[in-house]
């Protein structure tokens, strides 16, 4: 998945933000392209190469949030008294 300028994203460590531009930088003799992400008052440069595997993801959809809340509202499952046991109760 590739992102575009203006896309809302979630950084795995810093939380929700928005891609405000693309930037090319030369670091350690190598040219790379970066997403410039604004997260509150912080600006991050996230390498485009591998960003979706390691750092950025799209926000969770409303539909998916509803599904997750329904799971959380449901009855819990009793855990085994023996934490090392692989057998369900």
Question: For position 62, which CATH number holds?
Answer: 2.40.10.170
Q: Round to whole Å and give the CA distance between 87 and 89.
A: 6
Q: Where are the beta strands (DSSP E) in 1-89?
A: 8-11, 15-27, 30-39, 42-47, 56-57
Domain that residue 47 falls in: 8-70
Residue 76 counted as domain residue: no
pLDDT of res. 3: 94
The whole-number mean pLDDT for each consecutive block of 10 residues of the chain, a chain of 89 residues, reads 92 96 92 95 91 84 93 85 68
pLDDT of res. 59: 95
pLDDT of res. 79: 77
pLDDT of res. 84: 79
pLDDT of res. 18: 98
Q: Cα angle vertex 60, ends 54, 64, to 5°?
A: 130
pLDDT of res. 43: 97
Exposed, middle or buried by CB within 10 Å (0-12, 13-18, 19+), for 6? Answer: exposed
Tally the domains of the chain. Answer: 1
């Amino acid at each position: 998945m590739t992102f575009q300028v203006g896309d809302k994203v979630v950084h795995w460590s810093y939380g929700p933000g928005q891609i405000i531009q693309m930037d090319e930088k030369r670091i350690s003799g190598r040219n790379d392209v970066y997403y410039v992400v604004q997260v509150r008052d912080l600006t991050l440069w996230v390498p485009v190469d591998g960003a979706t595997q390691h750092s950025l993801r799209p926000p969770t959809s409303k539909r998916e949030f509803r599904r997750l809340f329904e799971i959380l509202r449901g009855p819990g499952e009793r855990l085994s008294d023996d934490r090392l046991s692989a057998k369900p109760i």
